[in-house]
Amino acid sequence: MQLILLPLLRFVFAILTITFSKARKPLTILSHLLDALLLSQLVLLLLRGTPQAFTVGGAPVGLGIPLIGDQNGLTFAVLAWVLSVAVTSYTWQDGLRPYFFLLLNLLIGASYALSFAKDLFTAFLLLDLSTIVSFLLVGYQRRPRQIWASLHYMILSSLGMSIFLLGIGVVYAHCGTLDLSLLEALVRESAGESWVHLASALLVAGLAVKAGVFIFSLWLPSAHARAMPAVSALLSGLVIKMGVVELFRISVVFPIDLPLIVLGVITGVLGVAYALNSYDIKRLLAFSTLSQIGYILIGFGAHTDVARLGALSYEVAHGLFKALLFLTVGEAAKCAGGSHISVLTANSHQIPWGTRIAMTVAVLGIIGLPPLAGFDAKAILEDGLSSVPLHLIVLLMSVGTVMSFAKLAPVLFARSTCRTCRSHVLSYGWLAGGILLFWPLSLLLVPPNVNLHAMTFAHIAEALIVMAVGSGLYMSIRRRRFALPMEVFRMETSPLIILLGFFLVYALIALGR
Amino acid sequence: MVARWILLALLPIVAGVALLQTRRLSAIIGMGLFSLVLAAVYLLMHAPDVAITEATIGAALVTAIYVLAIRRTGRLTVVADEAPGLIAREGDEIVGLEYEILDGFARQVGLDLSIQFVPLRRVRWLVSHQEADFGAGGMIPCADDDETLTSTPAHLETGVFTFPAASAAREHSAPRELPDYEGYYADLLEHDKDGTIAATAKALDLARVMSLGRVGAALEGLDRLDGTFGYAFLVSKRRTSLQRDFAAYLRQLRDSGRLNELIQRHFT
Amino acid sequence: MAAVIAFILFGIGILGLVLRRDLVIKLLALGLVNSATILFLVSIGDRPGARAPIQLPGDVAILADPLPHALVLSAIVVNFAILALALVFVMILVERYHTTDSTRIEQEMVRETDEEEKPCS
Amino acid sequence: MRKDRIRIIAAIGIVLVFAGLVSVMHLGSAPDPSASTRFLARDLEETGASNRVAGVYLNYRLFDTLLEVLVFSVAVLGVRHYLQQSEGMELPDLSESEVVRTAVIFLTPLALLLCAFFAILGHISPGGGFAGGVIAASGLLYVAIAYGMRAMEKRLNPARLVRAEEAILLALLAFVLLPMVFGRTPLSDLMPKGTPGQLLSGGSILVYNILIALKVLVGAWAVIAAFAQHRGEL
């Protein structure tokens, strides 16, 4: 019951905030409290070993929409709640219209529903709902570039969703159901048949567009960099992950481990390369999101339980620090008058110190300082990887991340006297607390034996060496720009690149047989 | 069964033809037609619910909002006073130098050109209230004292003539055949830096002198004003990117010699 | 065979999306891609000798599969929603840049610096 | 020029390979004809709707339908939000021709009738609330063409329309949550199934169809009105 109430109540609150717009603040608080209550009930059920599961409206098996409150889903739902609290408090005093809160509530409701729904078509609708909502959120300030980015985003994700729907069609033609738990057995029965390959390739290619996978998500950098900070935080922390969560769901049923790993590596490496080359901080954050998605995909693709737990923790950790980074950088850019690194450095004294402390915590989190969020999640993830080359690639990505964030150092260490506004402090504190206390909190998700293993000397030493090497390399190549193709981000090429990506995925699936 | 095959085969043809259209409206109507064929296909594939939904949403609603949207989206709206040689009706067609320039520009920026002929004094008002993108038909740039209006670079040199005196002008020309140029005269007087012209004097540009000549008005004794004048298009000051685009297009036209070619063709 | 036609239409749609530079026609092409997907789904529900899925008690005729039809109803509406919004965004862009040519809008945007960039009316 | 040609050829090549690959793979393994009846054999007794599409659409997969209505509502909201702020032109009253007005006297009631037919009989015959709502909205569009937008605005106050839309959406959600009062999970069907083929059959499908028709009528009209107003003439 809680499973269906969580999204439905959010939808009700969404409409109430616009109908009774004067009471929107109490309504928002109430909705968050209710969500907390329902979520904690679900978590308790899960910890007791009896996760809630039922079919919506009591429809027969195979036809209705099954909901299940398993570990993967609940982790994402809790992340959605945490980010929703952070963004709400960040925008508390900004005087945004009820329209904004309506969209926010719908987005959170859609994330809840997606975390629990184990049905392909429901996932399609939820992803589309999230596309439309984030489409409107990106263009909220009506700047032409935001609108252009929104339009690009919408065209590509509509194309992606069409490809996904083709995949759904192929699956339905052969199985007669869209329920993922039933599909598992049916697909295994006909493993190796050509329709399985076709369906998996279509589903993966379609979802990859939404999931921030590099060759597919060409809309992502411009949309994330152009939106306002609170929206960017949600897009990076939540909306992209909706695609990733669904990719993981599918990876249990369809044989897509190899494409997931390859896509993860491509995304990770190219994302880091573009991030290194970006000197506009918001753009850097957007590209870094791509590279971070790489870790999560590799974790899911490795198909071991520890790697899965690592990917889940990384999903949460990335949600926390990327949201915090977007929020703080957004405020800093507003105070300094621009988000380019040189502007930020020059006017760094105008950035409030509270913001800078929060930013420092987030940066330390993302580059993996023990025992913060990034370190813990990455360590668990690495424990789950068995192959040496993958290990090396993950290390390379970590070094790249350190290098790209080393640019922020002059901004972080400066003097200033301004103060952060109170509603922002609350939001920063909430997220920074999550990053700092990630290790103890993650015991809820990760069994203690795995989690303790992450805190070994080898991992700590590795993290410190990565940080040292990364900053050293940054010092040596500082400010040297290298040319990377930007042509791929244009509207004229991106649909073709998505098709090429489909071919790649298809080839990998056929190979992986 | 045969009907289904025929309709199915029709689908790619209709879609392909629709998407190859250069005119936006044709493409939209083509896609509306495609949706209707698709609805028929659904009906033949035993999906009446889908057919009804496709016909109402895909064919009717989508086409309706497209048509409503492109009225302003895809058009370059020009309001013009008729000036023979520059822009004028000839039978069902519009001809003239300015027409060809505007047509080329509209093609280059990918807009449908829409020309409305209005009385001269409405031209300035419509452009300055952004009801139209350009004002055409022998417009002469005025001094920049207007808050909302400016002009593109001149594309054709011309002369401006004054009548010796208003009374004389009335004697010479047949008042019935003179178009209503009141607003235009007033503009010229306002912007003429030379204060020697009597308040009652009237001024005319070359194109209008010629058009008066054609309708048989007597034009003796006109004085040519000193200074160089050139025809240009009126454009709202707020449309900076439109101004920039057009200036670039005109420069390109002039550099390639195409402008001279056009002028030669229309005025020989 | 209807499925093959659907894939061909999908391809035509993508070509339109990539090769036509007019934003309005790009959106039409996107609509075509979506319609092609829907045609594919409907073709799955159809089977030889079937009737429309309207059944009365005691009726034993073969019926077309109603589930893809139900899915498609939702998909059509979702596609319409996305299209309407995209069209609005195109209108706003065109009002600012006076062209529906996507390449030119991209060039304009590169030329504009951040300070120049003002919210659209 | 040459670069353009390469691009076109590359695009056509990629698309051809895509369409070919997907077709071959899809036809390569023939779908199992019994697959679609694997789970879908006995729904007539369960939903009581003789239009089995409506049974799936508004009973088994009601949650999907709810999401779809939400997507539509958000789109309507977004369209209105963006078009409202960009300044539209004055609404001119067009001169109405007698012919158009006479046509409207027949067309609009016909559209409304068709809407009612689709919504009320949606569980028995093809149609359904969504198509009905759109048809009724197009009926309003005819009136707007004949009598001008301004006359329509007077009758259908936009602010009141927004309220109506929210109210209908809230009613829909309330109806969805109603089973909780009776101790059942939300979205389950409370009403008796009746005999398939009768007007009062199919449980709550009738209620949902009517609510959706109203919602879509208001929403589709709002979209049309927003586009028409922005353009300023009809």
Residue pLDDT, tens place only, D10-33 = 999 999 999 999 999 888 877 766
Contact check, Cβ <8 Å, D78/C85: yes
Nearest to A138 by CA among A121, A157, A164: A157
Domain final residue, candidates B53, B73, B93 = B73
Residue B152 to residue B250: CA distance in whole angstroms: 9
For chain D positions 166-185, those within 8 Å of chain A (CB to CB) are 166-167, 169-170, 173, 176-177, 180, 184-185
Whether D154 maps to a domain, the answer reads: yes
Give yes or no for residue B263 having a pLDDT over 90. Answer: no
Domain ranges across chain A:
256-482
DSSP helix/strand/coil, A28: helix
Compute the average pLDDT of residues B90-97: 83
Start-to-end CA distance of chain C, whole Å, equals 49
Instruction: Reduce the secondary structure of chain B to three states and give it as a string.
Output: CHHHHHHHHHHHHHHHHHHHCCCHHHHHHHHHHHHHHHHHHHHHCCCHHHHHHHHHHHHHHHHHHHHHHHHHHCEEEEEECCECCCEEEECCEEECHHHHHHHHHHHHHCCEEEEEECCHHHHHHHHHCCCCCEEEEEECCCCCCCCCEEECCCCEEECEEECCCHHHHHHHCCHHHCCCCHHHHHHHHHHCCCCCCCCCCCEEEHHHHHHHHHCCCCCCCCEECCCCEEEEEEEECCCHHHHHHHHHHHHHHHHCCHHHHHHHHHCC
Of B238 and C2, the one with more pLDDT: C2
CB D206 within 8 A of CB D193: no
Tokens at residue A4, please?
A: 């269906």
Convert the pLDDT of each residue in A139-166 to its tens digit.
777 778 878 888 888 899 999 999 999 9
Nearest to A282 by CA among A129, A461, A407: A407
Task: Work out how many domains chain B is built from and give that number.
Answer: 3
B20 touching D, CB under 8 A?
A: no
Can the peptide bond before residue A98 be classed as cis, meaning omega within 30 degrees of 0?
Answer: no
Chains B and A touch (3+ CB pairs under 8 A): no
Give yes or no for residue B184 having a pLDDT over 60. Answer: no
Q: What is the secondary structure of A368-434 as a DSSP string?
A: T-TTSHHHHHHHHHHHH---HHHHHHHHHHHHHHHHHHHTTHHHHS--------HHHHHHHHHHHHH
Q: Compute how many other C-beta atoms are within 10 angstroms of the C-beta atom of residue C17.
A: 27
Q: Quote the pLDDT of residue B74.
A: 65
Q: Quote the pLDDT of residue B194.
A: 43
Tokens at residue A303, please?
A: 């198909």
B–C: how many Cβ contacts below 8 A? Answer: 141
Residue A508 to residue A5: CA distance in whole angstroms: 40
A141 touching C, CB under 8 A?
A: yes
Which among A128, A166, A506 has CB closest to D71?
Answer: A128
Q: Quote the pLDDT of residue B156.
A: 82
Give yes or no for residue B177 having a pLDDT over 50. Answer: no
Q: Quote the pLDDT of residue A7.
A: 94
Whether D92 maps to a domain, the answer reads: yes
Compute the average pLDDT of residues D68-76: 94
Q: What ranges in A117-179 are assigned the alpha helix state H?
A: 120-138, 144-175
Start-to-end CA distance of chain A, whole Å, equals 40
Nearest to D124 by CA among D61, D184, D47: D47
A121 touching C, CB under 8 A?
A: yes
Contact check, Cβ <8 Å, C12/B19: yes
C20 touching B, CB under 8 A?
A: yes
Closest residue, chain C, to A174 (C-alpha) = C44
The domains of chain C, with CATH numbers, are 2-53+63-111 (1.10.287.3510)
Q: B16: which residues sit within 8 A by CB, 6+ positions away?
A: C12
Asked if residue B220 and residue B237 are part of one domain, the reply reads no
Convert the pLDDT of each residue in A76-114 to its tens digit.
999 999 999 999 999 888 877 888 889 999 999 999 999
CB A363 within 8 A of CB A404: no
Contact check, Cβ <8 Å, D67/A125: yes
Lowest mean per-residue pLDDT among B244-248, C50-54, D39-43, D89-93: D89-93
Residue A153 to residue A489: CA distance in whole angstroms: 11
Query: Residue A119 carries which DSSP code?
Result: B
Nearest to D213 by CA among D93, D110, D128, D89: D128
Q: Quote the pLDDT of residue B179.
A: 41
**How near does any CA of chain B get to the CA of C91, in Å?**
6
Residues of C in contact with B21 (CB under 8 A): 25
Lowest mean per-residue pLDDT among A387-396, A472-481, A498-507, D65-74: A472-481
Distance of CA A116 to the CA centre of its chain: 17
pTM of the model: 0.86
Asked if residue B170 and residue B142 are part of one domain, the reply reads no
C–D: how many Cβ contacts below 8 A? Answer: 120
Which among C10, C45, C67 has CB closest to D19?
Answer: C10
Q: Quote the pLDDT of residue B28.
A: 93
CB D155 within 8 A of CB D103: no
Whether D9 maps to a domain, the answer reads: no
Write down the mean pLDDT value for chain D: 83
Q: What is the domain extent for residue B45?
A: 2-73
Lowest mean per-residue pLDDT among A64-73, A454-463, D44-53: D44-53
Start-to-end CA distance of chain D, whole Å, equals 41
Q: Quote the pLDDT of residue B211.
A: 63
Contact check, Cβ <8 Å, C70/D85: no
Closest residue, chain B, to C67 (C-alpha) = B47
DSSP helix/strand/coil, A53: strand
Which among B49, B51, B65 has CB closest to D223?
Answer: B65
Q: Quote the pLDDT of residue D56.
A: 87
**How near does any CA of chain B get to the CA of D183, in Å?**
34
Contact check, Cβ <8 Å, D185/A57: yes
Helix (H) or strand (E) holding A67: strand A66-68
Asked if residue B109 and residue B235 are part of one domain, the reply reads yes
Contact check, Cβ <8 Å, C76/B41: no
DSSP helix/strand/coil, A59: coil
Compute the average pLDDT of residues B12-29: 91
| B212 — pLDDT class (breaks 50, 70, 90) | low
Query: Residue A54 carries which DSSP code?
Result: E
Q: Quote the pLDDT of residue A492.
A: 82
Q: Which residues are registered as beta bridge partners of B223? A: B162
Q: Quote the pLDDT of residue B72.
A: 61
Closest residue, chain B, to C50 (C-alpha) = B46
Q: Quote the pLDDT of residue B11.
A: 95
Residue A248 to residue A296: CA distance in whole angstroms: 10
Asked if residue B235 and residue B220 are part of one domain, the reply reads no
Q: Quote the pLDDT of residue B167.
A: 43
Residues of B in contact with D107 (CB under 8 A): none
Widest distance between CA atoms in chain A: 66
Which of D37, D52, D67, D209 is the best residue to mutate to test the C interface, defined by the most C CB atoms within 10 Å of its own CB? D52
> CA triplet D43, D47, D52: central angle to 5 degrees?
60
| D45 — pLDDT class (breaks 50, 70, 90) | low
Compute the average pLDDT of residues C17-38: 94
Q: Quote the pLDDT of residue B125.
A: 74
Q: Quote the pLDDT of residue C1.
A: 80
Contact check, Cβ <8 Å, B28/C24: yes
Of B1 and A120, the one with more pLDDT: A120
Residue A114 to residue A370: CA distance in whole angstroms: 32
Convert the pLDDT of each residue in A108-126 to its tens digit.
999 999 999 999 999 999 9
Q: Quote the pLDDT of residue B176.
A: 35
Residues of C in contact with A145 (CB under 8 A): 109, 117
Give yes or no for residue B144 having a pLDDT over 60. Answer: no
| B209 — pLDDT class (breaks 50, 70, 90) | low
Of A467 and D1, the one with more pLDDT: A467
Asked if residue B79 and residue B66 are part of one domain, the reply reads no
Top mean-pLDDT range of A29-38, A278-287, B217-226: A29-38
Compute the average pLDDT of residues D65-94: 76
CB B38 within 8 A of CB B11: yes
Give yes or no for residue D57 having a pLDDT over 70. Answer: yes
Q: Quote the pLDDT of residue D1.
A: 67
Write down the mean pLDDT value for chain A: 88
Give yes or no for residue D40 having a pLDDT over 70. Answer: no
Give yes or no for residue D70 having a pLDDT over 80. Answer: yes
Residue D90 to residue D22: CA distance in whole angstroms: 51
Which among B8, B57, B72 has CB closest to C2?
Answer: B8
Of B134 and D89, the one with more pLDDT: B134
Helix (H) or strand (E) holding A68: strand A66-68
Write down the mean pLDDT value for chain C: 85
Convert the pLDDT of each residue in A381-411 to its tens digit.
988 888 888 899 999 999 999 999 988 888 8
Write down the mean pLDDT value for chain B: 75
